[in-house]
Amino acid sequence: MKKILFLLILLMPFNVFAYGSSAKSAILMDMDSHRIIYGKDINYVQSVASISKVMTAICVIENTDIEKTITVGDEVLKSYGSGVYVQIGEKLKIKDLLYGLMMRSGNDAALVLAKNTSGDVNSFVELMNQMALKIGMKNTTFNNPSGLDEQDGGNLSSAYDMALLMSYAMKNKDFKKIVSTKEYTLKTNKNVYKWHNKNKLLYSYKYLIGGKTGYTKIAKRTLVTSASKDGLNLVVVTINDGNDWKDHTTLFEEAFNKYHNYNLLKKGNIYIIGENYYKNNKLYIKNNVSYPLTLDEENILKIKYEINKKRKYKNNDNVGKVKLYLGDSVVREENIYVKVKS
């Protein structure tokens, strides 16, 4: 197998800016490329409180029918702390409980969702940890679906892992709709609810998409939010931050002022100058390739194509990679596939 390289150089400077926050640990990340724009002790592990409900929500959405109507059972009797106060025998949709979970941080909603997704809470927690491995959350352990940490130590994670999780979850349209909702009204066989989202930035910061708040005495204030402007999609996570609303707004504003999202390659067929080995077929990539960059960067962004000359190959085989370099560091990779002409 012989490897051939093709190099495209774009003159795009690169620089690092002095961002800041009052958090114990914090991160500002581009949700599409996972570029870290700002970080402070991003791999520090501690209880993350109720922002762990992001995992609860996405596990429910991906593993059950959210339009299904369920009946609340006696699992709610084990709930304490913040709640939406659903009652035994109350009938409502899985979707309704998800709004209560993410807008009001309902610990009772978390228990009902866990039971109705996996049969019991322990099985659901196992599902949460499996999802964490899938996403690449290497410093995370979930012990419950709520984030409470007084009895079992809670859910342990890092700012970096929670940013990966939020980036993943925001790709789901149902999750995105729920966390961006400011008000939700629900009528059941037992009650009428009108919920207002606890996320204050939804009301005060115009570029915010959604997020999740959290607090326990052990974890202190935790917050994850996402915002979007001109095609640049960002996530901020702060852990143990008494000034989190301001810090999130400031970090978003600094990034939006200094970075632009560059769409470098579109998914689909690609043409590589000088590539002749697969010339009778089509080469393609499955995802768009974009990257956030500053306007006044000084170094060089490079796009490098690495093509493997396979003697035998079939339709849709992986035959190489396209790599983005900032200086000598690879910051993004995408597989290249071959479409064999019939």
Provide the token pair at 2: 């012989």
Considering only CA atoms, which of 270, 216, 225, 231 is closest in space to residue 249?
225
Catalytic one of 47, 82, 105, 118: 105
CA–CA distances in Å: residue 53 to residues 98, 134, 178 = 10, 17, 12
Among all chains, which residue has been given the structure tokens 């849709």?
Answer: 316
Catalytic one of 40, 53, 95, 212: 53
Known catalytic residue at 25:
no
Among all chains, which residue has been given the structure tokens 């190099």?
Answer: 7
Give the span between the Cα atoms of 336 and 328, in whole angstroms.
21
Catalytic one of 21, 33, 50, 52: 50
> Dihedral angle at the C-alpha atoms of 319, 320, 321, 322, nearest 10 degrees?
-100
Known catalytic residue at 50:
yes
- Residue 315: helix, strand or coil by DSSP? coil
Known catalytic residue at 105:
yes
> Within 13 Å of residue 165, how many CA atoms lie on the same side as its CB?
33
Among all chains, which residue has been given the structure tokens 């079992």?
Answer: 152
Do 224 and 245 meet the contact criterion of CB atoms below 8 Å apart? no
Residue 39 neighbours by CB under 8 Å, 6+ apart = 26, 27, 28, 159, 160
DSSP 141: B
Taking only Cα atoms into account, the Rg of the chain, rounded to an integer number of angstroms, comes to 23
Give the span between the Cα atoms of 217 and 307, in whole angstroms.
54
Dihedral of CA 37/39/45/47: which sign?
Answer: negative
Residues composing the chain: 342
**Residues assigned a catalytic role:** 50, 53, 105
